[in-house]
Structure 1
Amino acid sequence: MKLGLFGQKRVRVKRTLTIVLVTALSAITSVSCSNDKDVLVTEIGVTPPSRRAVRTSQAGKLYLQGQSQHVKGNSQAAIASYTKAINLNPDYSAAYKGRGLAHFDMGDKQKAIADYNEAIRLSPNDAEAYNSRGNARAALGDNRGAIADYNEAVRLSPNYAEAYNNRANARSTLGDRNGAIEDYNQAILLDSRSVIAYNNRGNARAAQGDKQGAIADYTEAIRLNRNFGPAYNNRGNARAAQGDKQGAIEDLQKAAAIFQSQNNNDLYQEVMNNIKELK
């Protein structure tokens, strides 16, 4: 699976450096990547349904099989398992959600939305289904539709940190920086260890010209996760914009090493090009 860039925001130094915005999606416990080369998507794990509740039926066993296949990166096999579960139990809303996420990872956002629609029809109070449909809509460029879904997710689950983060991303894309920062603040209040929320709030602050605030957020993201490449990249960007050439190079070198270790060749090469320009 290849990671790319999501929501590019630029700060001019000698050369344009790219800030990486990471979207937190509600999903099974895994890191999942969109096939769209312009989207870097990190998915945070949520508690799956009780295995005791689902293993008693054949549909439940197929659902768990689909989850396992998805975690291992085999989205196509997961789709087949979820489909078999749905054929056995057409009212299995969790299987629709699982298949929707697998379709999303395969790059088919429309099929993902169709599955989320069905999950919402069957379970109209499912905040995760609204959040996931919002992610698919945002990936298609429908940020207003995505915000409507995130609004519903937050209404149904006021402590849903990821929905606040995702709504902030959509608001930021639409130019609502203040609204985005308010949502990032709420996401951090609900989950003080959210690396993604700190990284993304840093991006919003950088876009507003608050470079010191941005650097503080990137630094906190790095403190929480020393191997989070986007935060090093973004802090390097902010430091370069402040004229701290050496600090920028050090951060970009760290980001490059992390992206290389993750076999993320696109971001690795872009960061290396930025380092050459700064030198």
Structure 2
Amino acid sequence: MKLRLFQQEQLKVRKILSLVVVTALSITTISCSENKDVLITQIDISPPSSGTAQTSAAGNLYVQAKNQHFQGDLQGAIATYSQVIDSDPNYAEAYKSRGLAYFDAGDKQRAIADYSQAINLAPDDAEAYNSRANALASQDNHQQAIADYNEAIRLAPRYAEAYNNRGNARLAQGDNNGALDDFNQAISLDSRYVIAYNNRGNARAAQGDREGAIADYNQAINLNSSFGPAYNNRGNARAAQGDREGALEDLQRAATIFQEQNSNDLYQQVMRNIRELGR
């Protein structure tokens, strides 16, 4: 029996931010490839805040593009970000934001090119390094991704998201101890970091520490009772302990959450786990 952890590679957990930067994981959207395990990497998408520059033609276009992106109009956002860049070729934020739109549209190479240009224009931007690293990791270029996460952390030592994401890249390379160190650091910087608890649980599960993994999944669920991956992963850990009833309960809860969130790929994967458990 081989139940699958949600722990590696193409899952995007979007932390939607309000104008006052309030985390809203309860309305998280998730997507993944059916053919890979998934690593939970955090990618922030935010509407333009009241402080977003609007004092120029390029600034006004940038606000328009941000709104298009936030509303899910990726091609419209890319076109408008391109107008911003045509108007002001040194607008680093526009390159970074267009890179994220390209990433969301599945064009990782253009995303990397835009993040690189943003870094050329603003070499102290830790977020740009983190974003480029996410795109590199999505292409299995974990070594270069780690180099970028390192730079993000050097520039912003309290950047919890970069530690979490570097932990994912290390876990993908089989460096479980390094991954655990990174997830521990992310949690020490943000004690309510749901994704980091889930990912640390995966790292512990990879080391055979099922009790530690379940404790982390419990904490992720306590912080966000609608976080489907933690239910799936806790179900897998319980199955490995021989707790079939507890495992089925968790997997069925994960399936319900993904179905309610219209995350069909993840719903189908959990249903495969349930069928596997029933054999």
TM-score by length of 1: 0.88
2: CA distance, partners of 1:26 / 1:125: 24
Q: Alpha carbons of 1:207 and 1:228: their partners in 2 closer, same or farther (altered >3 Å)?
A: same
Secondary structure at the counterpart of residue 107 of structure 1: coil
1: CA distance, partners of 2:233 / 2:105: 28
Structure 2 unaligned spans of 5+: 18-26
- Which residue of 1 is the match for residue 256 of structure 2? 257
2: CA distance, partners of 1:258 / 1:166: 24
Aligned pairs, how many? Answer: 265
The Cα shift of 1:61 comes to 1.2
The Cα shift of 1:43 comes to 3.8
The Cα shift of 1:244 comes to 0.5
- Which residue of 2 is the match for residue 141 of structure 1? 140
Secondary structure at the counterpart of residue 181 of structure 1: helix
Q: Alpha carbons of 1:31 and 1:247: their partners in 2 closer, same or farther (altered >3 Å)?
A: closer
Secondary structure at the counterpart of residue 16 of structure 1: coil
2: CA distance, partners of 1:141 / 1:120: 21
1: CA distance, partners of 2:12 / 2:161: 6
Please state if 1:241 is matched with 2:246. Answer: no
The Cα shift of 1:71 comes to 1.1
Mean Cα displacement is larger for which, 64-73 or 116-125? 64-73
Structure 1 unaligned spans of 5+: 1-14
- Which residue of 2 is the match for residue 74 of structure 1? 73
Please state if 1:229 is matched with 2:228. Answer: yes
Secondary structure at the counterpart of residue 271 of structure 2: helix
Mean Cα displacement is larger for which, 52-61 or 192-201? 52-61
2: CA distance, partners of 1:158 / 1:150: 11
The Cα shift of 1:198 comes to 0.3
The Cα shift of 1:48 comes to 7.3
Q: Alpha carbons of 1:244 and 1:28: their partners in 2 closer, same or farther (altered >3 Å)?
A: closer
Give the conservation status (yes or no) of the 8 Å contact 1:24–1:196: no
Q: Structure 2 counterpart of 1:62, which letter?
A: L
Give the conservation status (yes or no) of the 8 Å contact 1:25–1:43: yes
2: CA distance, partners of 1:43 / 1:83: 25
TM-score by length of 2: 0.88
1: CA distance, partners of 2:88 / 2:29: 27
1: CA distance, partners of 2:48 / 2:224: 28
Task: Map 1:20-169; keep pairs closer than 5 Å.
Answer: 20-21=6-7, 29=17, 38=36, 43-45=42-44, 51-52=50-51, 54-169=53-168
The Cα shift of 1:52 comes to 3.9
The Cα shift of 1:278 comes to 2.4
Identity of aligned residues (%): 62
Q: CA RMSD in A?
A: 2.3
The Cα shift of 1:264 comes to 1.7
Please state if 1:18 is matched with 2:4. Answer: yes
